[in-house]
Structure 1
Amino acid sequence: MKVPAAVVAQEVPREAKPLPELQQHFVDLAFGMFIHYNIPTYMEDDWADPDASPAIFNPKKLNTDQWAAAAKSANMSYGCLTTKHHSGFAIWDTKTTPYNVMNSPLKKDVVREYVNSFRKAGLGVMLYYSILDTHHKLRQGHITPAHIQFVKDQLTELLTNYGKIEALIIDGWDAPWSRISYDTVPFEEIYRLIKTLQPECLVMDLNSAKYPGDFLFYSDIKSYEQNAGQHISKENNKLPAMSCLPLQANWFWKSSFPQTPVKDADKLVNDNLVPFNSAYCNFMLNVAPNRDGLIDENALVALKRMGELYKRPAHLPKVPVATAPIISSNLAKKCAVNGSWSNDMWLMDFAVDDDYGTNWLSHPSVKQPWLEFDLGSEKAFNTVVITENSPNVSAYSIEYFSGGKWYPLLNGSQRERIKVNRFDRVWGSKIRFNMNDFRKAPEIAEFGVYNERR
């Protein structure tokens, strides 16, 4: 039964808790169950055929109460379900597309079953949603305004009809493999829609393949997907974070799973869960239900063993208050750049190429290096973020060009690798970055200019 929007609205506080408090709460949750269950469950590939028939989605014994009981047995505190993966099949009662679970043999809203079971067990509820959608051709080179509205409509359903959602994990967005940028599908619009519908819902984009680990770009929580080679620094992390890993060999269930050993419960606890709890990091362990809609026995045994080994600490470390995340579009991305002499092939264009793995490198002989960014026309902006290859520049100044004249904007002395400069809004067509003090020839990975709504 669909929950009336008016009822859900009463569950969402009018005055949202501040972001640092929500981030601390997420870290305090410590341990949860990622649940990859969708149409790829019924294939041998995690990336399903985008034209796979809903007829194959046919669990005979779907039991989300069993999922919740398994999570409780491991001393987990929440779940997170894949509402839609990259092939576009929706496992809720959506009005946005016929490609959904109500047109499968099951004809039952799996998201509804999941949220009811986990709440009944006293567990928190999170959801996963993929922007990349190969069935509906929501992919690079094909995206239209109708696609953007489609995303907004689907998220509105998920955040209106299913009660309080603690966090929304978003995937397939501005990743090197999806190639859907935060401009093509506008991040800030989607982020603000989510916060309007549920002010206390954290937005967690799985974007660590691209963005640095020491600042929150386009996410309320820093995420690490271990299977993709993304690993948190347990010693140095200062951000609210999440690390995820599948218990089995793949994210989605495979026919070999019942006979294949799962990851060792003792190692998962001692090498992941316990040290992550001390590093401001929540551990999300994926468990893949099988084609009957049940968790296999070998996974249940491992989860129970983890619960015997692990008890969530009564008090976890207090997360350092992070600078507010960047959620706006970068006005300087791939703009025209001039500057002082570059070293070898590392020209100034690398400072705006939207790739944090490349750098503009100043020639060592230059004593006062500078970069000048041409925005093309007068634009409003109120934030500049300078990302170095490593901490180096310790004094700098920024100027802006408006109405045919240069004006001083700020003098900075931040020593961090990522220097976030927020100021009152100005208008300008060019920005000049002067590097005044540094230990070695400056290396600038990215220079970002933003017009934040504040």
Structure 2
Amino acid sequence: MNAIKEIAEVRPSSNQLAWQQMEFYAFIHFSVNTFTDKEWGTGAESPANFNPTEFNADQWVEVCKLAGMSGLILTCKHHDGFCLWPSLYTEHSVKNSPWRDGKGDIVREVSEACKKGKIKFGIYLSPWDRHEKTYGDSNVYNEYFKRQLSELLSNYGDIFAVWFDGACGEGPNGKVQVYDWEGYYEIIRRLQPKAMISVCGPDVRWCGNEAGHCRKSEWSVVPAELLNVEKIQDESQKIDDREFSKRISSSDDDLGSREVIKGCEKLVWYPTEVNTSIRPGWFYHAAEDNHLKRIDELLKIYYGSVGGNANFLLNIPPDRRGLIHENDAALLKRFGNTIEKIFQTNLSKGAAAAASEVMDKEHDVNNIFNKDTDKYWCTKEGTEEAVIEIDLKEIKCFDRISLMEYINIGQRIEAFRLEYMEDDTWKQFYEGTTIGYKRICCFGKINAQHIRLNIISSRWYPTISYIGVY
């Protein structure tokens, strides 16, 4: 695949479009590890350890909503094999814990709280199970895993994401488990056809690290071989190693430029998700109560992910009470308020725009001021450079500009500049590469009435669905 038109027309599925619009949501790591003060359990832990006496799923959802999150993904089973629902296929679950006298179901209460709070619910189910004796006997264990996966997908309402990692080790028999990924996918597609299959799956790509590192240029159109990278057993995480969460591979910084995809036989729409934890660890540890990420750190990740053509998955680990700790809740509320304040007033409202070229009347440049419609601006086919000038009608002070492409038909823009007019002269104040779903451009305060978007290069022809000035 070398023709630039073919590359430009690789596009997302309806599920991928809906997922991209979620932007920011929570990961909830909660299990027996919360009570043993471990990151990774061995599988030998007693269910008697699990007893969140003040568990309140509504509080979790409320914290997520105050942070501006659109959904929640729950670790229904981590590598230790302990199940947060009363699975029919193992005794290593909440049904043998003192919580709710063994009659409780964390997954059900969280899914119902999400529905009540009008945010989406997703599940994490670890393929690696250090408790299950059949692990390593690949065919037998795969059937066990599929039964548990089917339980979760059949009994807890709509699921927006099934999140897999590739962690893999040896079973009690000394053999390495071989996961039946295609078999897992078939069950998900059949039981929850609108669910995204994330990271070790065909719908969402891992950013490549757990440190919140974001690429300067994030392409959603990438070589098809990336679909299998996280499933390679030799490169999976096998030990509880904090260094793994800090790993950043510079060789992965460019995944979709013309140079990288040149000569690729097949390209796919495979958008990325940036995941990190609000704390140093993924599960709750009292020693980390005062070691949360700062607001400025969260903002940097937010701008790099949501504002860099990716989604942001932030882990919030509940404590032993079964509550989001007060420190985490307060920080997330401040963060949500900060984002809301920054973007509550769009200074481009009532502005007028002119473009160097437009395809036709249907694609008028003034479509860019309303992101809630399916209309957009574009040039004629084959025109890869263009300029949009915006008149704010009066001098206004701004330090953020949000740009969005109409990704329904592909990701096109490769390089752009932002300029403002001062004394009848255009002055550059920002230079960028990809836009994709969204690019949030951050810069020092500018006072100006006229802004210009100069699209330097694009694939086949550029599209813009929204420009917001803040």
Q: Shorter chain as normaliser: what TM range?
A: 0.5 to 0.7
* Aligned residue in 1 for 2:277: 246
1:188 corresponds, among 182, 191, 196, to 182
Structure 1, residues 220-239: CA drift from partner, whole Å, max 9, x if none?
9999x964436885996874
1:304 corresponds, among 327, 333, 341, to 333
Structure 1, residues 166-200: CA drift from partner, whole Å, max 9, x if none?
11001235699xx998x922211111111011111
| 1:279 pairs with 2:308 | yes
Aligned counterparts, 1:24-103, within 5 A: 24-103=17-96
* C-alpha separation in 2, matches of 1:172 and 1:20: 24
Matched-pair contact (CA < 8 Å) for 2:134–2:140: no
* Aligned residue in 2 for 1:147: 141
Letter in 2 for 1:112: R
Structure 1, residues 16-37: CA drift from partner, whole Å, max 9, x if none?
xx96221121111000011000
* C-alpha separation in 2, matches of 1:319 and 1:252: 36
* Aligned residue in 1 for 2:112: 116
1:130 corresponds, among 116, 126, 134, to 126
Larger mean CA deviation between 273-282 and 245-254 belongs to 273-282
CA-atom RMSD in angstroms: 3.7
Distance 1:122 1:249, change over 3 A: same
* C-alpha separation in 2, matches of 1:247 and 1:45: 17
Larger mean CA deviation between 288-297 and 167-176 belongs to 167-176
Task: Please give the secondary structure, in 2, of the residue aligned with 1:75.
Answer: coil
Tell me the CA shift for residue 273 of structure 1: 1.0
* Aligned residue in 2 for 1:264: 294
Structure 1, residues 383-437: CA drift from partner, whole Å, max 9, x if none?
xxxxxxxxxxxxxxxxxxxxxxxxxxxxxxxxxxxxxxxxxxxxxxxxxxxxxxx
Unaligned 5+ segments in structure 1 are 1-17, 324-454
Matched-pair contact (CA < 8 Å) for 1:86–1:172: no
Tell me the CA shift for residue 216 of structure 1: 5.2
* C-alpha separation in 2, matches of 1:242 and 1:88: 25
Letter in 1 for 2:178: T
* C-alpha separation in 1, matches of 2:89 and 2:308: 40
Task: Please give the secondary structure, in 1, of the residue aligned with 2:86.
Answer: coil
2:318 corresponds, among 280, 285, 289, to 289
Letter in 2 for 1:308: N
| 1:204 pairs with 2:198 | yes
Matched-pair contact (CA < 8 Å) for 2:188–2:195: yes
2:248 corresponds, among 198, 223, 229, to 229
Distance 1:317 1:175, change over 3 A: farther
Task: Please give the secondary structure, in 2, of the residue aligned with 1:126.
Answer: strand
Task: Please give the secondary structure, in 1, of the residue aligned with 2:123.
Answer: strand
Matched-pair contact (CA < 8 Å) for 1:132–1:180: no
* C-alpha separation in 1, matches of 2:335 and 2:273: 18
Matched-pair contact (CA < 8 Å) for 1:168–1:201: yes
Aligned-residue sequence identity (percent) comes to 28
Normalising by the residue count of structure 1, what TM-score does the alignment of the two structures yield?
A: 0.59
Distance 1:174 1:56, change over 3 A: closer
Choose between structure 1 and 2: higher helix proportion: 2
Letter in 1 for 2:179: V
Letter in 2 for 1:68: V
Matched-pair contact (CA < 8 Å) for 2:127–2:168: no
Distance 1:191 1:154, change over 3 A: same
Task: Please give the secondary structure, in 1, of the residue aligned with 2:21.
Answer: helix
Unaligned 5+ segments in structure 2 are 1-10, 210-218, 232-243, 258-268, 345-370, 373-403, 412-470
Structure 1, residues 55-113: CA drift from partner, whole Å, max 9, x if none?
00011100010000000010100000000000100001210111111111112100001
Letter in 1 for 2:50: F
* Aligned residue in 2 for 1:160: 154
Distance 1:282 1:222, change over 3 A: farther
* Aligned residue in 2 for 1:415: none
Distance 1:235 1:199, change over 3 A: closer
| 1:104 pairs with 2:134 | no
* C-alpha separation in 2, matches of 1:61 and 1:127: 22
Task: Please give the secondary structure, in 2, of the residue aligned with 1:189.
Answer: helix
* C-alpha separation in 2, matches of 1:175 and 1:52: 18
Tell me the CA shift for residue 208 of structure 1: 5.1
Matched-pair contact (CA < 8 Å) for 2:153–2:192: yes
Letter in 2 for 1:20: S
Task: Please give the secondary structure, in 1, of the residue aligned with 2:286.
Answer: coil
